[in-house]
């Protein structure tokens, strides 16, 4: 897993966005360079395919949250780096 994906997952875990508690895509992109916003969107789709995060449609745009089943694995990934 690359550093950008780890940074994204770290945002979820530190902000406790797990299960029903989601964060909007625009807020996930904050903290990354403007030129990297497209890459962040691609990484979100990649993490969703790997089932690390779930997509929650909302009235304000797409929102994401960490999957409960993968939480321990994510914590191990973040700890190892």
Q: Domain of residue 63: give its range.
A: 3-80
With 0-12 / 13-18 / 19 or more C-beta atoms within 10 angstroms meaning exposed / middle / buried, residue 47 is buried
**Which pLDDT score is estimated for 70?**
86
Q: How far is CA 46 from CA 57, 59, in A?
A: 17, 23
- Residue 13's CATH number: 1.10.10.10
Q: What is the pTM of this model?
A: 0.84
**Which pLDDT score is estimated for 22?**
87
Number of domains in the chain: 1
Q: Tell me the average confidence (pLDDT) per consecutive run of 10 residues in the chain, 81 residues long.
A: 88 80 88 91 94 89 89 88 68
């Amino acid at each position: 897993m690359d550093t950008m994906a780890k940074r994204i997952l770290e945002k979820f875990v530190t902000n406790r966005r797990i299960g029903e508690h989601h964060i909007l895509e625009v807020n996930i992109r904050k903290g990354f360079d403007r030129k990297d916003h497209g890459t962040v969107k691609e990484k979100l789709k990649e993490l969703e395919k790997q089932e690390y995060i779930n997509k929650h449609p909302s009235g304000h745009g797409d929102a994401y949250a960490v999957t409960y089943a993968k939480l321990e694995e994510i914590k191990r990934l973040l700890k190892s780096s």
